[in-house]
Each structure stands twice: as C-alpha cells, then as structure tokens.
Amino acid sequence: MNEQGVLVIVSGFSGAGKGTLVKELMNKYPDQYALSISVTTRRPREGELHGNDYFFVSQEEFQEMISKDELIEYAQYVDNYYGTPKKYVYEKMKEGKDVILEIEIQGALKVKEKYQDAILLFVTPPNAIELKNRLVGRGTEDMNTVVKRFKRGCEEAEGIENYDYLVVNDKLEDCVSKVHSIIQNEHSKAFRNKEYIKKIIKELNNILEGEI
C-alpha cells in the first residue's frame, strides 16, 4: 500500500479546540505525523524558536520565497506575512509522515485547489451554545472580542461544505481517535495506490502467462 504521507489541513471555529486536538494527535502518534511549520516575517516572541515555532525570515526573504514558488499558500495579516513552505511539507510526506497544516478556511480551500490529494478537516464543537461557553469560559477576552470571533465563525461556516470531513469535538479523546482513523483510512484510497494496483495486475498477468 502507499507509503507516501497524506497532507491534512485542519481548520475549525475558534473555540472548537483544534489546537489541542492537533497537539494531542502529535503527542499520541509522534512517528505518524509531522506538524507543518509556517514561515513568517513577524519578529519572534519571547521563547519562540526558529524552526520550531516558525521559520522567521525578513520581508525580502519572504518575497523571494513567493517569487520562487516555494510556498504552498501565504497570507498577510496586518503588516506581517505568514506562509507554508513546500520543502518541509514534501520532505516529511516523502518520509511517510502525514503532515498536518493548521490554517484558516480561505487558505485551506486555496491549498485544496492546487493539491486535490490533500484532505480538509473542519473541527466543530457539538453546538453553538457549547462554542459560546468555551469562548466566554476562557475569560481572557471581553464580550466584544467574543462577538467578533462569533461573526468570523459564521462567515467561516459558509465554507464548511467544501471540506472533506466534519469532525465534532465533544470529548477530546474520542475526537483524536476519530481524526486519526480518518487520516489513516485515507491511505487506503484507491487513487493513492495506483502503483500497488499496477503491481498486482502485472503479477496476475505473469501468473496467467505461466499457466497457459
């Protein structure tokens, strides 16, 4: 069966717990997954390490990466650029690791257009009330920020139907198992096993030749 890794894009409502989900997935199956590291022009915050949290580059370096087509996708927020370098993702996939990309819906859909083999997962809480409770429960933002997040959530929701999978994050552990099983089953997709199919047809034909 196919030994190439799968590109997995995880998005979800703010408050849906996708960060924790991805972290748990990495902790539980460190040999199976690799988390894509973004490249950014923003300065490192205290404790952030180059090649661990982000690849930190200058505006010029980032522009060069764009012009050399070295990014899977990129976006600008305020004055800073954020992008996904191809090199790291492809290397890990070649090693047989499934690469997780945690990006927003617009970026995700752009990636899917270019890489149709990628799978898009959308993480949602069991219902909107639960989402509200989680956001308010954090207690770190005022109501205004929470409402802004919600608005964003509503806009984002318009794109979910273009995703491959919708995953409900009710209990974290169940959700991690579900996502792991979805990604692992992707390896059984027929289009990812064209070489295997060719091989078995060839073998069948060879045996036939020998018998007639």
Question: Nearest distance from residue 185's CB to a copy of itself, in Å?
Answer: 5
In this structure, are residues 201 and 209 in contact, taking their beta carbons and an 8 Å threshold? no
CA distances from 147 to 103, 134, 151 (A): 21, 13, 6
46 is a contact residue toward a copy of itself (CB under 8 A): no
Total chain residues near a copy of itself (CB under 8 A) = 48
107 is a contact residue toward a copy of itself (CB under 8 A): no
How deeply is 181 buried, as exposed, middle or buried, from its count of CB atoms within 10 A (0-12, 13-18, 19+)? exposed
201 is a contact residue toward a copy of itself (CB under 8 A): yes
Question: Nearest distance from residue 21's CB to a copy of itself, in Å?
Answer: 14
161 is a contact residue toward a copy of itself (CB under 8 A): yes
Rank residues 66 and 201 by Cβ distance to a copy of itself and give the closer one.
201
Is 14 assigned to a binding site?
yes
Rank residues 50 and 189 by Cβ distance to a copy of itself and give the closer one.
189
What do you get for the CA distance between the two ends of the chain, in Å? 29
Q: Which residues contact 179 (CB under 8 A, 6 or more apart)?
A: 10, 21, 25, 121, 167
Residue set of the binding site for ATP? 12-19
